[in-house]
Structure 1
Amino acid sequence: MAPTRNHLLHIAMFPWFATGHMTPFLHLSNELAKRGHKITFLLPKKAKLQLQHLNNHPHLITFHTLTIPHVKGLPHGTETASEIPISLNHLLVIAMDKTRDQVEHTLSATNPDFVLYDNAYWVPQIAKKLGIKTICYNVVCAASLAIVLVPARNVPKDRPITVEELSQPPEGYPSSKVVLTGLEAESLMFISVPFGEDNITFYDRITSALRESDAIAIRTSREIEGNFCDYIASQFGKKVLLTGPVLPEEAEGKLEENWANWLDAFANESIVYCAFGSQINLEKDQFQELLLGFELSGLPFLVALKTPRGCESVEEALPEGFEERVKGRGVVSRGWVQQLLILKHPSVGCFVNHCGFGSMWESLMSDKQIVLVPQLGDQVLNTKLLVEELGVAVEVERGGNGWVSKESLSKAIKLVMDGDSEVGARVKKNHMEWKKTGGSPNLMNGYMDRFVQNLQDFPLHG
C-alpha cells in the first residue's frame, strides 16, 4: 500500500544505549514530531531520566522503557554506555540483544510503520514478521561506514583483519584524503572481535544491520559526504536517505548562573572550551598533559573531561599546583556541562574536541575556531573531513607513539586564536563560508522535509 503524500506516520526508534546515539535519535524524533508524526522511543529506564527533558513533543513522542538484564562482567545496574569504559561495551551489547523479546512485544503492540535502529542487527528479523519497514539509521560519519563497513572490505571470518589490510581503502572507495594510516587503523581493529552473543563480530553486526534493512539513513549531508553516501548506496544496493545533522535550532534551557557569570567576565572570543564527549576516559598522564597545554596557551579556558582511568575524581588527577597557577582564568569542570549553551556564549572563541560525530556537527554549526584531538578510528575520519576536505579546523600533532604533548596542544590553540595567524584566518574564513552554504537553516530543514517525504513515499505493509 502506497501512503498518501501527507500521510502521518508512526515511527519506532531503537538506538544503541549510548548518549551519542540516543540523543541524535531523539533530536530526529523531535523533528518528526514537529511535523505531526508519532514516535515510540525504546530505551533503558536510566536513559529516560537523562533524556526526557529533551523531549519537545511529549504528546507525540512516547518513551517505552526496557528492562536491561544483567550480564556477567558488567557492574550491577548498568544500562547505558556512559556508565562503563569503552572496553566493556561488548558486554552491554549482549544485554541489549537480550531485550529482543521486549522489543518484539512492543513493536507488535504498537504496530509502527517504520522502526529505526543501528546496532540491533536483529530488528529486521522481528519487523519482517510484523510487516514493519526497517531503516538502519547511522549517527556516525558516512566516511567511516564507507571505508570500513562495506562488502568490498571483505573482512576475513577465519582470522582478525590486519592493520595493513585496514590501512588499504576498499575497492572503489571515493577519497584519497579521508583514509587511514597504520597507526590510525590500529584503533579500528575492534571490528573483528566479538561484539555480542554467539561471537558475532562488530563488522558482521553492523554490516548485517545495513544489509538487512529496507533502507539506510545517515545523519549527514551531501555537502560534506555526498561521495561517500553514493558509494555506500552502490555497495549495499539500496537507497541511502540523509537527514542532515539534526541539531536543535536553539540550545535547550538557560545557562547555569555560575557558568554564565564566569564566561561573562571575559572578552568576546577569548575562551577556549574543551570537551571529549561522554565515553572518552583518558589515561591520567595524558589528562594532565592536556591541562598543562591549556595552561601553556596563556588563554582563559574551560575544560569538561571525564575523570581519567584509575582515578576516583577529577581533583586527584589535576597536575600539582595547577589550580593555583590558573586561578581566575582556567576552570576544570567536575561534572556535566551545558555544551550547546556554552558554545553559543560570545566569550568562547575556540572549541577543542575529540571530533565525535555529534561534536563535529556542533563545531561546524557554531562560529568558534575548531581544534581537534581525535581518540578513536571514526573520530580520525571525521577529523580528516574537517581538516583535509573542508579546511575548517586544525588537528593537534601527535608524537610517534600517539601522545599529545602540552606543547603541541598549545601550538594548535595559538594557531587558531592568534589574530595575526595565517592559519587561523584561513580556517575561520573557510568555516564561515561553509556555514553560509552547507550549514544554512533552510538547507538543513530541507533535508528533514525530504527525509519525511521519502518515508511517506515508501510502500508500507507489503
Structure 2
Amino acid sequence: MPETNSSDIHILMFAWFAFGHMTPFLHLANKLAKRGHRITFVLPKKAVNQLEHLNHYPDLISFHPVTVPSVTGLPPGTETCSDIPIFLTHFLSIAMDLTRDQVESVMTSIKPKLVFYDTAHWIPDIAKPLGIKTICFKVVCAASLAIVLVPARNLTSERPITEAELAEPPPGYPSTSVVLRGREVQSLLFVSNPFGEGITFHERITLALKNCDAISLRTCREVEGKFCDYLGSQYEKPVLLTGPVLPEESESPLDERWGNWLAGFEPGSVVYCSFGSQIILGKTQFQELMLGFELTGLPFFVALKPPLEAATIEEALPEGFEERVKGRGVVWGGWVQQPLMLAHPSVGCFVSHCGFGSMWESLMSDCQIVLVPQLGDQILNARLMTAELKLAVEVKREENGWLSKENLSEAIKSVMDKDSEVGKSVKENHKKWRDTLNPELMNGYIDKFVQGMHELVE
C-alpha cells in the first residue's frame, strides 16, 4: 500500500435505508477502520440501535443519525425498508432524498476525503464543489447490474424498458448463462418504476454510477471478473473490488434453544431455510413450501416472516402440520443468527432466496445450497451460482411461477442424498470455490481496495 497516513483519510458513508445495504457498508467500515481509517456513518436514527453491536471500532467509526421525514404514502415512523412492504419503497426513497440537507450539513462540517454511497445519486453534486471524491459502492452482484443498469440499455424516463428488450442481454454482455428466462423477465420491469420524486429506479442507479469518481463492487474477480470489466467499460470508470466483505466470526454463541435443538440431529442432516428480512410470501405459497419441507422427511429449521394474510406464523401453518413434524421441524417467524446457523455441524443444507449477502454466506459455508429466488437480482444471483459456478440447485417453478411442494422436496433431496450425482457434483464444485475464496485472498482484496482508495484521493 502507499505510504499515506491512514489517519488522514476520513470517510463518510451513506447507504440506502435497508439493512441489506447498511450492514455490508458497516462490514466494510470495520475492515477500513482495522487499517486505521476514520468513518462517519450517516444513517436513520432507528438503525443506530440495530447496528451498534456490529461496530467493532467505535473509536474510529462514529454513527451520525439523520431524521427521516414524514412522506405521504409512508406509514408514520418508517425509517428503513424493514418497516414497510416492498411495494412502498418508492416513498422511502422520496424520504431519503429529503435528508439531503442533513447529509450536506455533515459533509460540510467534517470535510471527509471520500464519500461512499449507493442509491443517493445526488451525493456527487454535494461532494464535487467541496473537493471530495466519491465512490459508488454497490452491494448487489455485478452480473445483475450489468444486465440492466448500463448505458448500453439507453433508457430514459420517457422510454421505459420493455419485456422484449429485457429478454435480450445488452450489447456486449459477457454471459449466455446468467440471463433471465421466460416469465422471469417481468421481475426486472420494476427498474422503469418511479423510485423517488420524478425519477425511475433505472435513472437513479445509472446516475449514481455515472457521476461518481470510482465504482466499487462487493465481489471477487474470481467469481465475477468479466461482469466487473463490462461495467467498467460501460461507465468508463475505475472499478475497485472489495471481495465479499463478510463479518468477522461472531464472538457470541448461537441462541441456546436453537443450539440445543440442532444438537439432537446427526451432522449435516438439518435443512435450514431463510428468505431474508424483506420477502413476505402469500399464505397459500407459504403453506405449500411448509408441506415441501415436510415431504423431504428431513429435519428442518425454517425462518420466515408470517405470510401476508396472517398475523403470526402459527396461524399460517397447514392444518395438522405442527403435530406431524413435531420433534423434527421448527418454523420461526423471528430473527436468527444466520452465520451461526450455517456454521452449526448439524446443518447440511441452506434453502435461500439468494439475496447477495446470503449468497456469499452460503458460498463460504459447508452447506449444500438450494435456491428459491424471488426478485430480479436474486434470480440473476441464483443463475450465477447454478449456471456459472455450478455449486447450487435452483428449485423449478411452474409456468405460472408457482413453487410446488414436490419441486422443493425434490431439489432438497437431490443435494442431500449421499448417492445423488447432482449432490456430489455441486458439493465438489462448492468445495473448490470455498477453498479458492480463502481468508488470505479476502484480506488481499481489502488491501488492494485501500490502495485504490488512496490513489483516488492523492
* TM-score normalised over the length of structure 1: 0.97
Secondary structure at the aligned position of 1:41 is classed as strand
Q: Deviations over 1:275-327 (max 9, x none)?
A: 00010011111111111100000000000011111321111111111111100
* TM-score normalised over the length of structure 2: 0.98
Secondary structure at the aligned position of 1:187 is classed as helix
Secondary structure at the aligned position of 1:216 is classed as strand
Secondary structure at the aligned position of 1:419 is classed as coil
Paired position in structure 2 for 1:285? 284
Closer, same or farther: CA 334–157 of 1 in aligned 2, 3 Å: closer
Paired position in structure 1 for 2:82? 82
CA distance in structure 2 between the partners assigned to 1:156 and 1:38 by the alignment: 38
The answer to whether the aligner puts 1:441 opposite 2:442 as a matched pair is no
Contact in 1 for aligned 2:34/2:57 (Cα 8 Å): yes
Paired position in structure 2 for 1:106? 106
Unaligned runs of 5+ in 2: none
Deviation (angstroms), 1:4: 4.5
Task: Tell me which moved more, 15-24 or 304-313.
Answer: 304-313
**Match of 1:272, as an amino acid?**
V
**Match of 2:309, as an amino acid?**
G
Paired position in structure 1 for 2:456? 458
Secondary structure at the aligned position of 1:40 is classed as strand
CA distance in structure 2 between the partners assigned to 1:192 and 1:4 by the alignment: 45
CA distance in structure 2 between the partners assigned to 1:335 and 1:240 by the alignment: 38
**Match of 1:448, as an amino acid?**
I
**Match of 2:202, as an amino acid?**
Y
CA distance in structure 2 between the partners assigned to 1:80 and 1:7 by the alignment: 32
Paired position in structure 2 for 1:295? 294
Contact in 2 for aligned 1:135/1:215 (Cα 8 Å): yes
Report % sequence identity.
67
**Match of 1:166, as an amino acid?**
L
Paired position in structure 1 for 2:369? 370
Deviation (angstroms), 1:23: 0.5
Deviation (angstroms), 1:6: 4.2
Paired position in structure 2 for 1:321? 320
* Higher RCO (C-alpha 8 Å, min separation 6): 1
Closer, same or farther: CA 407–273 of 1 in aligned 2, 3 Å: same
Deviation (angstroms), 1:38: 0.4
Paired position in structure 2 for 1:32? 32
Secondary structure at the aligned position of 2:413 is classed as helix
Matched residue count: 456
**Match of 2:84, as an amino acid?**
I
CA distance in structure 2 between the partners assigned to 1:224 and 1:281 by the alignment: 30
Contact in 2 for aligned 1:5/1:453 (Cα 8 Å): no
Deviation (angstroms), 1:334: 2.7
Q: How does 1:383-462 map to 2 (within 5 A)?
A: 383-437=382-436, 439-460=437-458
Deviation (angstroms), 1:160: 2.7
Contact in 2 for aligned 1:307/1:313 (Cα 8 Å): yes
Secondary structure at the aligned position of 2:414 is classed as helix
Deviation (angstroms), 1:253: 1.6
Contact in 2 for aligned 1:193/1:202 (Cα 8 Å): yes
**Match of 1:459, as an amino acid?**
V
Paired position in structure 1 for 2:179? 179
**Match of 1:382, as an amino acid?**
N
Contact in 2 for aligned 1:5/1:457 (Cα 8 Å): no
Contact in 2 for aligned 1:163/1:182 (Cα 8 Å): no
CA distance in structure 1 between the partners assigned to 2:250 and 2:367 by the alignment: 16
**Match of 2:442, as an amino acid?**
M
Contact in 1 for aligned 2:270/2:348 (Cα 8 Å): yes
Q: Deviations over 1:357-413 (max 9, x none)?
A: 000000000010000000001001100111000110000000000111000000000
Contact in 1 for aligned 2:156/2:203 (Cα 8 Å): no
The answer to whether the aligner puts 1:149 opposite 2:138 as a matched pair is no
CA distance in structure 1 between the partners assigned to 2:115 and 2:252 by the alignment: 30
Q: How does 1:13-412 map to 2 (within 5 A)?
A: 13-197=13-197, 199-412=198-411
CA distance in structure 2 between the partners assigned to 1:267 and 1:54 by the alignment: 32
CA distance in structure 2 between the partners assigned to 1:417 and 1:346 by the alignment: 15
Question: RMSD value over aligned CA atoms?
Answer: 1.0
Deviation (angstroms), 1:157: 3.1
Deviation (angstroms), 1:252: 4.6
Contact in 1 for aligned 2:11/2:115 (Cα 8 Å): yes
Contact in 2 for aligned 1:268/1:349 (Cα 8 Å): yes
Q: Deviations over 1:152-197 (max 9, x none)?
A: 0112432432111111111111111111123111011111111101
Secondary structure at the aligned position of 1:458 is classed as helix
CA distance in structure 1 between the partners assigned to 2:237 and 2:204 by the alignment: 18
Deviation (angstroms), 1:63: 0.4
CA distance in structure 1 between the partners assigned to 2:195 and 2:156 by the alignment: 16
Contact in 2 for aligned 1:32/1:452 (Cα 8 Å): yes
Contact in 1 for aligned 2:350/2:362 (Cα 8 Å): yes
**Match of 1:274, as an amino acid?**
C
CA distance in structure 2 between the partners assigned to 1:42 and 1:157 by the alignment: 30
Paired position in structure 2 for 1:10? 10
CA distance in structure 1 between the partners assigned to 2:207 and 2:295 by the alignment: 48
Deviation (angstroms), 1:40: 0.4
Task: Tell me which moved more, 288-297 or 251-260.
Answer: 251-260
CA distance in structure 1 between the partners assigned to 2:38 and 2:143 by the alignment: 31
Contact in 2 for aligned 1:419/1:425 (Cα 8 Å): yes
**Match of 2:126, as an amino acid?**
I
CA distance in structure 1 between the partners assigned to 2:374 and 2:286 by the alignment: 13
CA distance in structure 2 between the partners assigned to 1:181 and 1:421 by the alignment: 27
Contact in 2 for aligned 1:15/1:43 (Cα 8 Å): yes
Deviation (angstroms), 1:458: 1.7
Secondary structure at the aligned position of 1:400 is classed as coil
Q: Deviations over 1:54-100 (max 9, x none)?
A: 11111110000000001111110000001111100000000000000
CA distance in structure 1 between the partners assigned to 2:191 and 2:455 by the alignment: 35
Secondary structure at the aligned position of 2:457 is classed as coil
CA distance in structure 1 between the partners assigned to 2:386 and 2:108 by the alignment: 46
Moved segments of 4+, more than 6 Å: none
Deviation (angstroms), 1:260: 0.8
